[in-house]
Amino acid sequence: MIQAIVNTPLGKTKITGDTAGVSSITVLNDEAQTSKTIPAELKNAVEQLLAYFEGTLKDFDFPLAPKGTEFQQKVWSALLEIPYGKTISYLELSKKLGDVKAIRAVAAANGKNPLWIVVPCHRVIGSDGSLTGYAGGLWRKKWLLEHENPSAQQSLF
């Protein structure tokens, strides 16, 4: 397993992976040291993540290799289908996965997403349009949604 730590507008970010793909992208505390060199296997992921923050990239295309249960993988795959700048509710996501009663399990799998931003769990909101739970902090979720859709600031929050 190799890693790189880079600065982003939302804090230092650790990217972990191997030759199969990126397995995790997480926000760290500010005490972490940024990487002096980026391993070749992670260079594309780092470049795309930074381009996302610059506003020049909407869709990521580097290989992903997240570790999780079959159900978690199914939820994370569904998250990948949420378009840039759009949001859906946990209820809508549960319906999309075929079981409205699984809303709590869907929310839990959403919260275990190991690929911050790339698998866009930040695009899932409450049925009433409210920002609800986000492992990186609600302020980061708000920032990401505003970054992706600046014109929706007033209606979303």
- Closest by CA to 147, choosing from 82, 83, 54, 12, is 54
Q: Could you name the CATH architecture of 70-156?
A: Orthogonal Bundle (1.10)
Q: What is the pLDDT of residue 154?
A: 47
The pLDDT-based confidence of 153 (bands split at 50, 70, 90) is low
Residue 15 has pLDDT above 70, yes or no: yes
Residue 38 has pLDDT above 60, yes or no: yes
- Closest by CA to 80, choosing from 104, 54, 59, is 59
The domains of the chain are located at 2-54, 70-156
Q: What is the pLDDT of residue 152?
A: 65
121 tagged catalytic:
yes
Q: Report, as an integer, the average pLDDT of 25-51.
A: 93
Q: Which entry of 119, 121, 124, 144 is annotated as an active-site residue?
A: 121
- In whole angstroms, give the CA distance from residue 70 to residue 36: 36
pLDDT, one tens digit per residue, over 72-121 is 999 999 999 999 999 999 999 999 999 999 999 999 999 999 999 999 99
